[in-house]
Amino acid sequence: MTTPMLERQINFLDYTLSSLWRKRYKNIAVVLVFAAVIFLLASFQLVSNGLLERAQTALVMAPEILIQKMVAGRQESIPVAYAERLQGIFGIRQVTPRVWGYYFDEVTLANYTVIGRDQVAGGSDDQLTQVLADGRLPAAVGETVLGQAVFRTKGLQDQRVFSLFRPDLSLKTLTITGLFKKESNLLTDDLIVLSLADSRDLFGLPPGLASDLMVSVANPREIGTVAKKIAAALPGTRVLTRPQIEKTYHMIFGWRSGFASVCLLAALAAFFILSWDKASGLAPEERREIAILKILGWQTADVLLVRFFEGAVVSGGAYLLGCTAAYIHVVFFGSSLFLPVLAGWSVIRPDLHLVPAIHLADLLLLFCFTVMPYLAATVVPAWRCASLPSATALQGG
């Protein structure tokens, strides 16, 4: 009996499409408004995901105190020699220079995060070691450890040696000594870790310079005091503490919860569109149509199936349209609509480049908050109408 069943479904789909087509102007309007809401939400989501990942990377790498050199309000490379000026400050356990930056790979069109540091007891390597899948952190010049995405996009497979371009386009060859864990992809996916000397070489940075200085403190409770002393000892620098960075990180989380409320708002908006649509939709003509269909022998479930198809085409179409537009907006237009909101971020990362992270769970969440209510609001009134005796259609009306 599969063929008649299938034929039945096709007939229902056919009926749905032709009835959608007859009401096409209204349906297109609904799809557009709905897609716009989903577009805003999805853009927001993509951007905040990108930010969150950046923030997490920053946090995992974040030392207790970070010193950046500021010139004309912008961050510049900091001389490693600055560390000597801190020697007198009580409470500092260690000062280690770090280089970091972004490497744009012309071949794979991907942006990698590069971190250059040297192995020092009590340095950032402790954190990095925890997320290492195999091998060891680079100990000598010419060695590197990669994140999974770097390894994958470069197509390395069995190869242990690969090259990157220096700014003058000469090749720099590196040997892989390890990979980061898949589980830590969120943090390490696009990471390339090198020795300090190699990172300077790669970015064409003169010796004696670093991106920032990381300070570890003997007593975590003294972070604030030590930071103040550092700021006094090194005018022209910006001193960031881990609590400050965490605060920014929390701001992102706040933003995320803000996102949740926006989701709710969207659901409300969806309901609003709907009640407008359905209030006019389940008007006499539509009631009459359902009654006629039932009188002609359609089962209640058939009526609901058609309404479901209708709702699915409209809301599913809007969902796909909105999500695609959001992706294009973020990837190809650099989320230009949200730039004003993002501006505050330059405190931690001056050139914030967002690679949107697409999370199935988030897409699902968005789906639940937009498509599901729409479907429910399409099917439920039809169900109420279809399960009533249909005599009223006979009386005229």
Partner 1 sequence: MIIECRDLIKTYQADGRRMNAVDEASFVVQQGEFIFIHGHSGSGKTTLLSLIGGLTSPDTGQVLIDGRDNWQQSDNALSDLRNRTIGFIFQFASLIPALTVLENVLLPMSFGGVAAGARERATQLLVEVGLKEKMHSYPGQLSGGQQRRVAIARAFINKPAIILADEPTGDLDEETEQEIFELFKTFNREQRTTFLIVTHNQHLATTIPGSRVFTMRQGLLKEIQAG
Ligand X SMILES: Nc1ncnc2c1ncn2[C@@H]1O[C@H](COP(=O)(O)OP(=O)(O)OP(=O)(O)O)[C@@H](O)[C@H]1O
Minimum gap (Å) between residue 321 Cβ and partner 1: 24
Q: What is the dihedral angle through the alpha carbons of 75, 78, 83, 86, rounded to the nearest 10 degrees?
A: -30
Give just the sign of the alpha carbon dihedral 89, 90, 91, 93: positive
Query: Would you tell me how many other CB atoms lie within 10 Å of the CB of residue 338?
Result: 19
- Closest to partner 1 by CB, 167 or 297: 297
Residue with tokens 């009134």: 381
Q: Is 25 among the residues that bind partner 1 (CB under 8 A)?
A: no
Our finding on whether 285 is near partner 1 (CB under 8 A) is: yes
Q: Which residues contact 68 (CB under 8 A, 6 or more apart)?
A: 75, 78, 211, 212, 237, 238, 239, 240
DSSP state of 10: H
Residue 201 sits in the site that holds partner 1 (CB under 8 A)? no
On whether the CB atoms of residues 145 and 133 are closer than 8 A, the answer is: no
Q: Which is nearer to ligand X, 297 or 389 (CB)?
A: 389
Does 389 bind ligand X (CB under 6 A)? Our answer is no
Q: How far is the CB of 28 from partner 1 (least distance, A)?
A: 16
- Please state the closest distance from residue 292 (CB atom) to ligand X, in A: 16
Binding partner of 295, given ligand X, partner 1, none, CB within 5-8 angstroms per partner class: partner 1
Q: Is 12 in the site for partner 1 (CB under 8 A)?
A: yes
387 binds, among partner 1, ligand X, none (CB under 5 to 8 A by kind): partner 1
From candidates 63, 253, 395, 397, binder to ligand X by CB under 6 A: 395
- E-strand ranges in the chain read 65-71, 74-76, 78-79, 92-105, 110-116, 132-135, 143-146, 161-165, 171-180, 191-194, 209-210, 212-217, 237-241
Q: Give the nearest distance from C-beta 292 to partner 1 in angstroms.
A: 5
**Binding to partner 1 by residue 23, rule CB under 8 A?**
yes
Is residue 333 a contact partner of residue 354, using CB atoms and an 8 Å limit?
Answer: no
CB atoms < 10 A from the CB of 109, how many?
Answer: 8
Nearer to ligand X, 87 or 395 (CB): 395
For partner 1 (CB under 8 A), the number of binding residues is 32
User: Binders of partner 1 among 287-306, rule CB under 8 A?
Assistant: 289, 292-302
**Contacting positions for partner 1 (CB under 8 A):** 4, 7-8, 11-12, 15, 18-19, 22-23, 285, 289, 292-302, 387, 389-391, 393-397
Contacts with ligand X, residue ranges (CB under 6 A): 392, 395
